[in-house]
Chains A and B, each alone.
Chain A
């Protein structure tokens, strides 16, 4: 299996809801990432996990809460989001977190906050 999968593909949630995005890879990669991509903009890094430990949080609001339960799974828990949080959320993984390793991207979850 050489793909990063993300579920759900689409998610619509209200501002008071709690939901989670899921990302999975079975390539044995030890680094995983969350990016946010607004329409017609490039992806922006949110979080980096290396060996299941959070190594980078790019000053993301606490209403986004990442979790890495094991080396294959990465979750993003969402609570009390704002309409401006509507975006495509991309997960990626790489063999290690060193800079020269390729990052493999998932197809993304398109989130709409109403």
Chain B
């Protein structure tokens, strides 16, 4: 079975401080990992995915297969980063081709204090 663990329900940091949102996963194959973000009163949207190896809004995440982790980091937090962050995994669970939907972690509510 595949599982995503986000150990922190809530993370509060001051503006300008570094941020790290933890994500660990359990999956027997080669998963695709994503970070989704939900700002207040907005729809869930993709922040970044490991396959792209890109930086979005100053956030980066590196897949560490040895530690089965995909932590989200930003060196200097901004107030507009306050949101709910979900780590998600997608893998080939079923035979017959095609991947299944996303398995989400429970989410971390990030609050950036001024």
Residues of A within 8 A of B (CB): 31, 33, 35, 41-45, 48, 50, 55-56, 58, 90, 92, 97-100, 102-108
Contact = CB atoms under 8 A, between A and B. Distances in A.
Contact of A100 (B51, B94, B98): B51
B106 interface: yes
Nearest to B46: A102
Given A99-B92, A105-B44, A105-B45, A42 B98 contact: no
A55 B51 CA distance: 24
B102 A103 contact: yes
Interface residues of B, number: 25
B98 A50 contact: yes
B17 interface: no
A45 B102 contact: yes
Contact of A43 (B91, B96, B104): B104
B101 A56 contact: yes
Interface string B79-108: 000000010001110101011111111110
A44 B104 CA distance: 7
5 contacts: A44-B104, A45-B103, A98-B98, A99-B90, A100-B90
B57 interface: no
Given A48-B100, A102-B34, 13 more contacts: A42-B107, A43-B44, A45-B102, A45-B103, A48-B101, A55-B98, A56-B100, A99-B99, A103-B46, A103-B101, A105-B44, A106-B43, A107-B43
B85 to A, nearest CB: 11
B8 interface: no
B90 to A, nearest CB: 4
A48 B102 CA distance: 10
- In order of increasing CB-CB distance, the 6 nearest A-B pairs are A42-B104, A45-B101, A99-B99, A97-B98, A99-B32, A105-B44
Nearest to A34: B101
Contacts of A97: 98-99
B86 A42 contact: yes
Nearest to A96: B98
A31 B45 CA distance: 17
